[in-house]
Every structure is written in C-alpha cells, then in structure tokens.
Structure 1
Amino acid sequence: MVAYRNAVAADADDVMKFWATAAEDSQRPPDSADAVLRLISRNPEALILAVDNDMVVGSIIVGWDGWRCHLYRLAVAPTHRRQGIGRELVARAEARFTAYGGTRADAMVLDDNSQAHRVWSTAGYAPQPEWSRWVKPLP
C-alpha cells in the first residue's frame, strides 16, 4: 500500500537512489543528498514522497516562493507507474499551493520527455509557448 508523506532528513540518500532510477536527469546539474537536506531544512513541506513498504516510489518538489507555485521532480518508480501515484502527488502539491494562497502552478518538464507530457497534460497542464526558461549554472 502506497503512503504519502513529507520527506525527512533520513530520506535524503533514498531519494537520491530513487531519482537515479526513476527521474530524467540528463539536462541538469547533478543533485546531491546535501541539496535534498537543504531543501527539507528550509521547507519541511517542500518534498512529498510516495512510499511503498519503506521504499520511495514517487516524489514531487512543491516550490512556493510566496508569489508563484512551482513543481519539480515529479517522478514515479518504473515498477509503480500507471497506478495513479503521479496524479496523487500532483493533487497533493496543488492542495498545498491552494492552502498557501497560490493562484497558478507551473511545472518544469523536459521538452523531449513525452511520457511526462502525457502525465502533465492529464493533470490539466499545458506548455506555455510564449515563455522560455533561461538558466545560468551557479558556481
């Protein structure tokens, strides 16, 4: 049975192992357990996990800056896909945004990740073609 909860510091290494197998990672700088720990320390509600028998099988980062709602790192273990876990993670994130007073959510989705496009489209999200994401790696 899948349970949903906020990540805690003890989850950092398991989250990293999970992302290595379940998340698309080719287009971003490497993540680290330290970064996960900083995220959880800064906002204990920012990382929602789906857990099955103490194994991380889903994740979503709920980014709220006081102005906009941002979703990152939606991932579901290949063994647990097509069971509604992604949909539930998005719904929980959106409920959190509503409680914060958010009015619009955006999701970071790689252009070539067609499997993710289906998930986000089903959840009611669509690309916004008039915007481009500009990035700069920090030292």
Structure 2
Amino acid sequence: MNDLRIRSAAPADAAAVLAFWQVAAEGTSISDDEAGVVGLVARDPEALLLAERDGVLVGSVIAGFDGWRCHLYRLAVHPEVRRQGVARALLEAAEERFLAVGGRRGDAMVLVANERAQHAWRASGYLPEERWRRWTKRLR
C-alpha cells in the first residue's frame, strides 16, 4: 500500500474519472458526464478523492460535505486491485476530510443488489440503516 497515492481530483481529471467509473463502478449516475464531474470539483475541490498507483487511477470516492452532513458516493476500485486496501484507504481519507470540516457522521448511498459493496462498507465500520436505506458511521 506504500505506493498508493490519494489526491483530490482536478477538472482535467473528468474524462479519466468517467472512463474509470465505466470499468470499476456499479451502475451509473445522472451526473456521470464531464459537466457533472467538473461542476463537483469546481463547487468542492476536495470532494472527489482519487487513488493512484504509479500514476494509474485505481480508486475513487466522492466525499461531499454540505455544511451539515457528510455524504459518500461513487466508491469504486478497479477490479484488478480489489481486496488490496484501496477502498479502506479512500474511506480513511474521506473520514479525515470530514473530521477536518466538523463532520460527525458519514453516510453512503449503496445499491441494495451490490453485495460486494455492502461487504466493503461493513468492513470499514459502516452499518445499514434500513429505514433510510443509507449506511452510516459515527465519526466521533
């Protein structure tokens, strides 16, 4: 894991992120276009976290904070490097970001049918809240 670098995305990363999500992410989002990614980065330059190994994109997560709640979206790890700690490193970076801005709990949108993702979230300490269909974890 020493060779894993996590950084915030820049507008110039939009096309690469979209191509990466086509390979690594489950499902699509209404915002899966260059305008959506560029808009996210413009509004919150630290929200889209990318994991790279030797300059190659291997993971992503959106760690959005609206001033009230901490939301996690688009946790994705390239299929060839899954189960190597990339998701955990991304979530730790997201949680550090949330704590730095005063966040108290992270919540994640997780597809109900994506059992692999549910396992990853649970392994990182997130638990399902069935009444909301979100997964949450207290940060403090």
Tell me the TM-score normalized by structure 1.
0.90
Question: Structure 2: 5+ residue runs without aligned partners?
Answer: 135-140
Does residue 39 of the first structure (1) align with residue 40 of the second (2)? yes
Q: Does 1:22 align with 2:24?
A: yes
Number of aligned positions between the proteins: 132
Following superposition, the deviation at residue 132 of structure 1 comes to 4.7
1-structure distance, mates of 2:31, 2:9: 20
Cα separation, 1, equivalents of 2:133 and 2:108: 13
Q: CA deviation at 1:78?
A: 0.4
Counterpart secondary structure, 1:127: strand
- Indicate yes or no: 2:6 matched with 1:4: yes
Q: Which residue pairs with 1:113 in the alignment?
A: 114
Measured in 2, the distance between the counterparts of 1:107 and 1:93 equals 11
Q: CA RMSD in A?
A: 1.3
**Residue 70 of structure 1: aligned partner:** 71
Runs (4+) off by over 4 Å:
none
Q: 1:3 Cα shift?
A: 1.0
- Percent identical residues: 50
**Whole-angstrom distance in 1 between the partners of 2:67 and 2:30:** 25
**Deviation (angstroms), 1:30:** 5.9
Letter in 2 for 1:94: E
Bigger strand fraction: 2
Partners of 2:65 and 2:130 in 1: how far apart? 23
